Amino acid sequence: MFMKISAKTKICLIIGDPVSHSMSPAMHNAGYEALGIDDRFVFLGAKVKAQDVGVAVECMRKMGIHGLTCTIPHKVEVMKFLDEIDETAKKIGAVNTVLNKNGKLIGFNTDWQGTVIPLEKIISLSGKKVLVLGAGGAARAIVFGLLKKGAKVKIFNRTKEKAVKLAQEFNCQVTSLSIKSEIRDFDIIINTTSVGMKPLEKETPISTKFITNKQIVFDIVYVPFETKLLKEAKKRGARIIHGTEMLLHQGTTQFEIYTGHKAPEEVMRKILYEKN
């Protein structure tokens, strides 16, 4: 495919530290190829240290790089260096997508669609009771998305003060899950903590005893592909959603921002699932 690249090809780049594990280049390039636009776009990766994000944005500006995808640790810091930030990314307080629109650098956040799109393929979120586990960076985008779609959100976090702060900012509720059977009352449970990911792969963020077959359990952790929480929820008859679906849909939304074309979802999904 790379034989089609020329001096006219638009460059998109994921920056992070680390970055070599990222599936974004493979996912986006497969999408370009499927649409026959792999002469117009190419997606690469570059390791950029936390303190160098400003320099990376300056390079984007000077070199006319078309798209800049930001992952850990750049999503908040990058905002300082942009010309414009869309209202959603401002509310979430993080940018994972920068588009160079005729020299103007505009920041977006597509992480919230990464959660909302897979859920809304199964159920309408309006009025649904959702338990969000965690109050970190990913939780911010997810809580925003759920509330935007009319869900009733309660946040549970190990450090309760962080849950309270997030809930106050977004105008939703907090739970300490002191009555564990409360877990039964939710339509949807979403894990946004790193519990379940290595080295915590043998743990679950909550007791799974009260998960029921009427619930949807979504774990945004994607390494391992199926976390202990998802395995146990599946045994209890719940419908499960893997973290890879979030990765996919933050990517399909971003693909559309960078190219203006509808993303070939199945092609991009196949790339991510081949790894597992």
Q: Which of the residues are catalytic?
A: 75
Binders of ligand NAP among residues 110 to 129 (CB under 6 A) are: 111, 114
Closer Cβ to ligand NAP, 38 or 111, answer by number = 111
Using CA atoms in the order 123, 128, 132, 136, what is the torsion angle rounded to 10 degrees? 80
Closest CA relative to residue 42, chosen from 63, 20, 25: 25
How distant is the alpha carbon of residue 204 from its chain centre?
20
Tell me how many residues contact ligand NAP (CB under 6 A). 26
Closer Cβ to ligand NAP, 12 or 272, answer by number = 272
Answer for the pair 211, 186: CB distance below 8 angstroms, yes or no: no
221 in contact with ligand NAP (CB under 6 A): yes
Binding mask 72-111 for ligand NAP (x = CB under 6 A): ---------------------------------------x
The amino acid at 203: E
Q: Which residue number is nearest to ligand NAP in terms of Cβ?
A: 136
Residues in Cβ contact with 121 at an 8 Å cutoff, skipping those fewer than 6 apart: none
Determine the interface stretch with ligand NAP among 5-13, 87-95, 245-253, 255-263 (rule: CB under 6 A). Answer: 245-253
The order of strands in the sheet holding 41-47 is 41-47, 10-16, 67-70, 97-101, 104-108, 84-85
Answer for the pair 110, 250: CB distance below 8 angstroms, yes or no: yes
Minimum CB distance to ligand NAP, residue 257 (Å): 16
Sites of contact with ligand NAP (CB under 6 A): 111, 114, 134-139, 157-159, 162, 192-195, 197, 200, 205, 220-222, 243, 246-247, 250
